[in-house]
Amino acid sequence: MYPRRAPLAVISADIESNPENYNENKELKPVWQLAFTELPLHEGMQVYFTRNVDKSRDFVNGMRATIRSWDASVQALEVRTATGHDVQVFRWTDKDLGNKVYFPVRAEYASTIIKFAGAELPHVTLWLDKPHVPGAAYTGMSRVAYGRDLLIGGNLTKDHFTPAT
């Protein structure tokens, strides 16, 4: 997305956003096999937080933020949240993933349906590539307020619209 600009930095970002961390059944591999997402940072780039760190400043899972700068002296990403809070993002020790240390952010431009559960988005392009996933179609489609803001792609059958039980 930023082919003509050198990144501010490249960070070790959210582990669960790295597609290489999933096996052929789309399950997370064992902790010792997990790798970080190498994320180049650019001023103005949109990211989402992936962990709940500081609710008082809206540093919570799913909050969108805009990159303002990289502070190399303290190794911190400086962002402004969608709610107007200025936040410094430091490395996070994830006790649920074997104490791996990484920055709890992921790129904003694409993600899985699961990562957007509960989000309200201005537009969704939904690609349903796996049939028989309970609730996936509903979750993806219900992220927008109006049908005109939704684009569904792929070779779809009724099996892509499996209800949640």
Q: Do residues 149 and 122 lie in contact, with contact meaning Cβ atoms separated by under 8 Å?
A: yes
Residue appearing with tokens 């997370």: 28
What share of the chain has pLDDT > 90, as a percent? 51
Q: What is the pLDDT of residues 30-39, one digit of tens each?
A: 999 999 999 9
The string of DSSP codes covering 47-78 is EEE-S--BGGGTB-TT-EEEEEEEETTTTEEE
pLDDT class of 1 with cuts at 50, 70, 90: low
Question: What pLDDT was estimated at residue 45?
Answer: 92
How many Cβ atoms sit within 10 Å of the Cβ of residue 116? 17
Question: What pLDDT was estimated at residue 84?
Answer: 95
Q: Is the pLDDT of residue 138 over 80?
A: yes
**Taking residues 56-76, what's their average pLDDT?**
93
Q: What is the pLDDT of residues 70-122, one digit of tens each?
A: 999 999 999 999 999 999 999 999 998 999 999 999 987 766 676 666 677 88
Q: Residues in the chain, how many?
A: 165
**CA contacts within 13 A on the Cβ side of 56:** 0
pTM listed for this prediction: 0.72
Residue appearing with tokens 């200025």: 86
At residue 15, φ and ψ (nearest 5 deg) are -70, -40
**Taking residues 45-53, what's their average pLDDT?**
91
Residue type, 109: Y
Question: What pLDDT was estimated at residue 110?
Answer: 65
Q: Do residues 57 and 46 lie in contact, with contact meaning Cβ atoms separated by under 8 Å?
A: no
